[in-house]
Amino acid sequence: MRSRVWALVLVLMGGASPVLAKEQAATFKIPPVKIPLNVKDQKLMITASGLITLIRKEGGLNILKLELSADLADLQANLTDVMIEALDKSDRCGDRIAIQHATLVPEDPASLAVVQLHYERWACAKIFGKQEAKKVTGGNAVMQMKLTPAVEENNTELRLVPEVGPIEADGSLGELLRSGPLGEMLREKIRKAILSALQKGTDLSATLPPAVQGYAAIRNAQFRDGGLGRLVAVLGGEIRISDEQIQALSRQVKERAAAH
């Protein structure tokens, strides 16, 4: 009786092992890829990696779950320089903006950007035939803005949805930043500067193996705390490819892992 039981166990184990092997082979780990960003003559790096898992077959195609993550720690560490490049200006007869400090921290599922700046507005007028510049207003300010990632309609790119936060400013500068075109201009430039880095760091063509490029669709996106305040962008999506592409994907992932 005991020998029959063991025989049955061996048969069941023998039948289960191919399934296990198949499940293991259906998961593809994308090794980290370093994506460069050029800011103020220096090169920053966003590290992106991913996981692709086969979940089912449908209409002759393989449906795979896509998970991508982009580590934005280097962007956070150099955000002041990013904001200086995007916002600093010194018009003799107009706006003068000097970024003093900028931070970007996770606030799941969003992020919080805080920018400290000095602003002056100058006007020019001719006095005795000579153009003179005079400061009209100015002061220091701290602007906060919550940024939540969302997916564009093409399902391959991200956008950032802004939410205006508290503004601390000297004198009349506060009103200019809260309700005037100056505040709108600054918020839009802050959003665009961070979005540009985010889009480069989550560029599917830079992260995914060639076999699945052009076949991936992003369905959702969010920011997460990767530990100790490190900001990580996390994308979820789907890939639909043929059996031949699955084989090519497996080969390309192995080649990339060997070279890593």
Most confident of 16-20, 127-131, 167-171: 167-171
Angle, alpha carbons 57-62-67 (nearest 5°): 115
Strands (E), 42-174: 42-58, 61-71, 89-90, 95-107, 110-127, 130-151, 158-169
**Would the pLDDT of 183 be above 80?**
yes
pTM as predicted: 0.86
Task: State the virtual CA torsion across 74, 77, 80, 84 in degrees, nearest 10.
Answer: -20
- 229-254 b/e with 16+ CB inside 10 Å = b? eebbbbbebebebeeebbebbeebbe
**Would the pLDDT of 5 be above 60?**
no
Instruction: Give the distance from CA 15 to its chain's centroid.
Output: 44
- The per-residue pLDDT for 9 is 35
- The per-residue pLDDT for 180 is 87
Strands 158-169 and 130-151: antiparallel
Name the amino acid, one letter, at 88: D
Name the amino acid, one letter, at 227: G
What is the average per-residue pLDDT within 140-167?
96
Q: Which among 223, 236, 199 is positioned nearest to 110, based on CA atoms? A: 223
pLDDT band at 150, cuts 50/70/90?
very high
Q: What is the mean pLDDT of the chain?
A: 89
Query: Cα-flanking dihedrals φ and ψ of residue 72, to 5°?
Result: -100, 20
Q: Which among 165, 219, 217 is positioned nearest to 191, based on CA atoms? A: 165
**Would the pLDDT of 93 be above 50?**
yes
Name the amino acid, one letter, at 224: R
pLDDT in tens, 198-247: 999 999 999 999 999 999 999 999 999 999 999 999 999 999 999 999 99
Most confident of 57-61, 96-100, 174-178: 96-100
